[in-house]
Amino acid sequence: MANELIEFVLVSVALLAVGIYGLSVKRNAIRMLFAIEIIVNAANLNLIAFARFMPEAHSGGQTFALFSIAIAAAEVAVGLSLIIVAYRLYKNIDIADFRSLKG
Amino acid sequence: MIELTSTPIMLMVILGVAGMAIPVINVIRKERGGSTFYGAIAFAALIISIGFVMYQFYSESIAPAAIFSADVLVDDAFGSFFAIAMLIVSIITVVGSFNYMRNRANPAVYFSLILLSTIGMVLIAFSTDLVMLFIGWELMSIPTYILAGFNKKNPISNEAAIKYFLFGALSSAIIIYGMSLVYGITGSTNIGEIIQGFATLDADLLPIGLLAIGMLIAGFGFKMGLVPFHMWLPDTYEGSPPPITALLAAGTKKAGFAAALRIIILGTVALNLDWTLALGVIAIMTMTVGNIAAIMQKNLVRMLAYSSIGHAGYILIGISIAPFTGLGLQASLFHILNHAVMKGAAFIAVAGIVTALAVTHLDKIKGLGRRMPITALGLVISLLALAGVPPLSGFWSKLMLFGAAIDAGSSLWWAPWLAVAGVLNSALSLAYYGWIIRKMYFEGETEKRIKEPASIIAVMIFSIIFMVTIGVYPEPIIKFAEMASPTLTGVVMP
C-alpha cells in the first residue's frame, strides 16, 4: 500500500518540477499557461492518491480534486481569452515583448 | 449544517442574485450603455449586504472570532470584520466607476463581475475549510483577471491583465499544491482538524509540513504583494482601469490577508515552528523595497502601487508578532480596514483625475488643487492618512502596530526593530507623499477650475468623513478589531 502511494507522490513531484521548469524557461504565454496547468494537475494527483491510500483520510480529497478541475477549466478559459485579445493587439504572444509597463 | 440565514449564505444570495440579474437585464433591455442604471443595482445590492452584516453583528447573533467549525463556513466576528472592509471597498469601487464607465462598452458585465468578485472575497473571510477557501479564492481572482483587461482595445490594459493572470494562476497552482500536501499529512480539509493534525504530527512528516506552509505563504503572498512575489503588482495596477486598481489594491489584497490569517498563522502556531522571524524579515523587506521604489516613480499610479506594497509590510508586522502579543493581530486588522479605505480613496481620486484629464504623470498634475479642488483634497487627506499624520485614521493603526511590536520586545529581541523600521519607513513615505502634494498645490499656473465627476466627489466626501472620524474617535473600530481577532494562545485543543 504505502509503496504505491510513494510512486504516485513521486510522479506528482516530477510533474511539479516539469511545471516549474516550463515556467522559468518558456516565454510563450500559452506554454506558460500549460506549465501552470501541469502544476495544478500534479496537485490533483496528490489529492486523489492521498484520498485513496491514506487510511485515516476522509474522502474530502476527491471532492477537492473535482472542484479543482472545474475551477482550472474556468481559469484557462479566461486566460486563453486574454491571450487571444493580446494576439489581436500585438500579433504575437511572446511575453518578453510585453514591456510597455516598466519602472 | 450552517443556517440558511447566516451572514455568508445571505451575502452570497444577495450579491449573487444581483450579479446574475445585471447581465440578464442587459440582454432584455436591448439598449447600449446605461452604466448608471447597472451601477445603481450593484450599489443597492452592496448597501443591502453591508446593512445585513451590520445588523447581524449588532443583533449579536454572531459567534466571537472562531477558529474551529465542523462546517465549511462559519458566521463569526472575524469574517464580519473582513466582510465589512471588503464591502466598503466594493462600494467605493462601484460608485467611483459611475463616471468612468459612462461611454464605455459593456457596463453590465463590468458591474456584474465586481459583485461576483466581492462574493469570493467575502467567502474567503468566512471559510473554515480548504475547499471553500480555494473556491472563494478563485471566485475572487477570475473576475478580476477580466476586469484588469477590461479596456480590450488598449494594449496597456491587456498587458497588465496577462501579467496579472499568469502570476495569479501560478499563485493558485502553488496554493492548491500546498493544500494537497496539507491534506496528505493531516488527512482532512477542515481547518480545525488540520490544526489539530499539525499539533500531533509525526516528527518525520515535519519537513512536508514546512514545505506546505512555505508554499501557502508563497501562494497567498503573490496576492498580498509581499516582496519576493511583488513584481507583477505595479505593472498591473498601472495598466488596469483605475477603479479596478482600487478594487485590487484595497480588496483582493485584504482577502489574501484574511486567507493567510485563517490558515498560515494558525498552522505555524500549531506546528511549533518559529516562522515569526521569517515573517518579520519579509515585513521589513516588503516595506523598505516598496517605499524606496515609490520614491523613484514619476507616475502617480505606480507611486501609489509601490506604497501599497509598503503597507503590506506594515500589516505583516502585526501578523509576525501575533503569537506573542494579542495586540499584534488587532493592530493588523485595524490597519487592514484603514488601509482599505485610504488606498481605495487614493485610487478613486486617481480614477477621477484620469476620467477628467486622462493623465497620471506627476508633471501633468501640477496645479490640480485649483483645477479639481475636491478630488485633490480627498487625495491629500488619504495620502496624509497613509503616511500616518496624527489626526487621521492611519495614525492610530500605525501607532497600534508599532506599539505592539515594542510590547512584544519582552519575549522577542528583534521585535522592537520592526517598530524602528516601520517608523523610518513612514518618514520615508512622507517624502514622496509630500512631493505629490507639492505638485498639486504649489506648482503650475493658475488654471480654471474644471468640472469634477459627481460620483468621485461622493466617494471623496465619504472617505474624508471616514478618515477624519476614525482619526478623532477610533474606539469603536478598535473594539471591533479586538472582537474580531482570534486568540492564538491555547489554539490547540487538548
Cβ B176–A40 below 8 Å, yes or no?
yes
Query: Has residue B86 got a pLDDT over 60?
Result: yes
Amino acid B87: pLDDT: 95
* Identity of the residue in B166, B177, B184 whose CB atom sits nearest the CB atom of A39: B177
* β strands within A22-80, DSSP E: none
- Looking at the complex, report in whole angstroms how far the Cα of residue B292 sits from the nearest Cα belonging to chain A: 12
Which pLDDT tens digit goes with each residue over B383-414? 999 998 888 888 999 999 999 999 888 887 88
Residue B211 at interface with chain A, using a CB cutoff of 8 Å: no
Separation CA A9–CA B491 (nearest Å): 31
pLDDT at B61: 66
- Mutation target among B183, B222, B362 for the A interface, most CBs of A within 10 A: B183
Residue B493 has pLDDT above 60, yes or no: no
pLDDT, position B21: 93
Mean pLDDT, residues B134-156 taken together: 92
Q: In terms of CA atoms, which chain A residue is nearest residue B294?
A: A103
Predicted confidence (pLDDT) per residue in B356-366, tens digit: 888 888 888 88
CB-based contact A60 B158, cutoff 8 Å:
no
Contact B173 A47 (CB under 8 A): no
CB nearest to A101's CB, from B145, B149, B160: B160
B169, closest residue in chain A (CA to CA): A36
Exposed e or buried b per residue across A2-35, where buried means at least 16 C-beta atoms within 10 angstroms of its C-beta: eeeeeebbeebeebbeebbebbeebeebebbbbb
- Taking one residue from A and the other from B, the number of pairs with CB-CB distance under 8 angstroms is 136
Measured distance CA(B42)–CA(B22) in Å, rounded: 8
How large is the average pLDDT for residues B15-24?
Answer: 93
Cα A27 from Cα A29, distance rounded (Å): 6
The pLDDT-based confidence of B492 (bands split at 50, 70, 90) is very low
Q: How confident is the model at residue B284 (pLDDT cuts 50, 70, 90)?
A: very high
Q: Does B174 touch chain A (CB under 8 A)?
A: yes
Mutual angle of helices B300-320 and B415-442, in 10-degree steps: 160
pLDDT band at residue B489 under the 50/70/90 scheme: low
Contact indicator for A64, B177 with CB cutoff of 8 Å = no
User: Which carries the bigger pLDDT value, residue B4 or residue A2?
Assistant: B4
Helix (H, G, I), strand (E, B) or coil at A26: coil
> Which of A16, A39, A103 shows the shortest C-beta gap to B297?
A103
Q: Which phi and psi angles does B64 have, rounded to 5°?
A: -65, 165
All residues of chain B having their beta carbon less than 8 Å from the beta carbon of residue A30 are: none
Q: Is A43 close to B183, i.e. CB distance below 8 A?
A: no
Whole-number pLDDT of residue B203: 81
- ∠ CA B304-B262-B148 to the nearest 5 degrees? 35
Lowest mean per-residue pLDDT among A86-90, B324-328, B348-352, B465-469: B324-328
Confidence grade of residue B484 (pLDDT, cut at 50, 70, 90): confident
**pLDDT of the residue at B494:** 36
Q: How confident is the model at residue B196 (pLDDT cuts 50, 70, 90)?
A: confident
Mutate to test the interface with A, among B106, B117, B162, B180 (most CBs of A within 10 A): B180
- The pLDDT value recorded for residue B174 is 94
* Residue of A54, A75, A82 lying closest to B162 (CB–CB): A82
d(CA A13, CA B181): 11
Closest CB from B159, B183, B190 relative to A61: B183
Does the domain formed by A2-97 have CATH 1.10.287.3510? yes
Which residue of B lies nearest to A93 if distances are taken between CA atoms?
B162
Residues of chain B above pLDDT 90, percent? 48
Element (H, E) at A92: none
Amino acid occupying residue B332: S
| Residue A51 · residue B186 · CB < 8 Å | no
Instruction: Place B33 in a pLDDT band, splitting at 50, 70 and 90.
Output: low
Mean pLDDT, residues B291-295 taken together = 92
Average pLDDT for B475-492: 76
Per-residue confidence (pLDDT) for residue B490, from 0 to 100: 52
Q: Which residue of B has its CA nearest to A5?
A: B184
> What are the extents of the domains in chain A?
2-97
Chain B residue with CA closest to A74: the answer is B142
The whole-number average pLDDT for the span B277-292 is 90
pLDDT at B166 over 70: yes
Interface mutation target, options B172, B177, B200, chain A, most CBs of A under 10 Å? B177
* Average per-residue pLDDT for chain B: 88
Q: How far apart are CA A51 and CA B343, in angstroms?
A: 43
- Residues B298-340: tens digit of each pLDDT: 899 999 999 999 999 999 998 888 877 778 889 999 999 999 9
Strand partners, A94: A28
DSSP letter at A91? S
What would the 3-class secondary structure string for chain B be?
Answer: CCCCCCHHHHHHHHHHHHHHHHHHHHHHHCCCCCHHHHHHHHHHHHHHHHHHHHHHHHCCCCECCCCCCCCCECCEHHHHHHHHHHHHHHHHHHHHHHHHHCCCCCHHHHHHHHHHHHHHHHHHHHECEHHHHHHHHHHHHHHHHHHHCCCCCCHHHHHHHHHHHHHHHHHHHHHHHHHHHHHHHHCCCEHHHHHHHHHCCCHHHHHHHHHHHHHHHHHHHHHHCCHHHCCHHHHHHHHCCHHHHHHHHHHHHHHHHHHHHHHHHHHHHHHCCCCHHHHHHHHHHHHHHHHHHHHCCCEHHHHHHHHHHHHHHHHHHHHHCCCCCHHHHHHHHHHHHHHHHHHHHHHHHHHHHHHHHCCCEHHHHCCHHHHCHHHHHHHHHHHHHHHCCCCCHHHHHHHHHHHHHHHHHHCCCCHHHHHHHHHHHHHHHHHHHHHHHHHHHHCCCCCCCCCCCHHHHHHHHHHHHHHHHHHHCCHHHHHHHHHHCCCCCCCCCC
How would you write the pLDDT of chain A (103 residues) with one tens digit per residue?
Answer: 557 888 999 999 999 999 999 999 988 999 999 999 999 999 999 999 998 887 776 778 888 999 999 999 999 999 999 999 999 988 888 888 777 776 5
Q: Which of A33, A38, A78, A97 should one mutate to test binding to chain B, selecting the residue with the greatest count of B CBs within 10 A?
A: A78
Distance set, CA B370 to CA A57, B448, B453 (Å) = 66, 7, 15
- Listing DSSP states for B310-358 in one string gives HHHHHHHHHHHTTTT-HHHHHHHHHHHHHHHHHHHHHHHHHHHHHHHH-
Task: Choose among A23, A42, A85: nearest Cβ to B177.
Answer: A42
Amino acid symbol at B456: I
pLDDT of residue B50 exceeding 90, the answer is: yes
Query: Closest chain A residue to B172 measured between Cα atoms?
Result: A40
Closest-CA distance, A12 to chain B, in angstroms, reads: 10
Report B:277-306 residues touching A (Cβ under 8 A). 296-299, 302
Distance between CA atoms of A48 and A63, rounded to whole angstroms? 9
- Which of B35-44, B56-65, B166-175, B230-239 shows the lowest per-residue confidence on average (mean pLDDT)? B56-65
Residue spans of alpha helices (H) in B127-154: 130-148
Interface check for B25 against chain A (CB to CB < 8 A): the answer is: no
